[in-house]
Amino acid sequence: MKNVRSLLERRKRRVRFAIRQKAAGRPRLSVHRSNAHIYVQIIDDVAGTTLVSASSAENGGKGSNAEAAARVGKAIAERAVAAGLKTVVFDRGGYLFHGRVKALADAAREGGLDF
């Protein structure tokens, strides 16, 4: 039986492959979730650069709950709009779309990002 980490990696590869097929040149909003924090960045896959990033670990913040994820989603939306980005492709990174990941996505949508 495969371990949990390898199954997560397979899901992540499958999700990213599907996203790249449908992205049509849009930047990718990538989410990483750890036990202590949640991290998000907007990546331009064509150039291979990170355009904007945010995390719950910034400024010594505490946060491994949905409220912290919502704050991070709002922060990434504000930074993206300031950088001139409106439409992105959401990359949940192999994580299920519920809980902290869903809270982050909803807050980013409310902040002005379109995906």
The domain limits of the chain are 4-110
Q: How confident is the model at residue 1 (pLDDT cuts 50, 70, 90)?
A: low
Of 110 and 6, the one with more pLDDT: 110
Asked whether the beta carbons of 71 and 107 are under 8 A apart, the reply is: yes
pLDDT at 2 over 80: no
Highest mean pLDDT among 3-17, 20-34, 41-55: 41-55
Fold of domain 4-110: Nucleotidyltransferase; domain 5 (3.30.420)
At a CB cut-off of 8 Å and minimum separation 6, what does 36 contact? 57, 64
Q: Given this model, what pLDDT does residue 20 score?
A: 83
pTM: 0.86
Q: Tell me whether strands 89-91 and 28-33 are parallel, antiparallel or unpaired.
A: parallel
Q: Given this model, what pLDDT does residue 25 score?
A: 86
Structure-token pair, residue 79: 């930074």
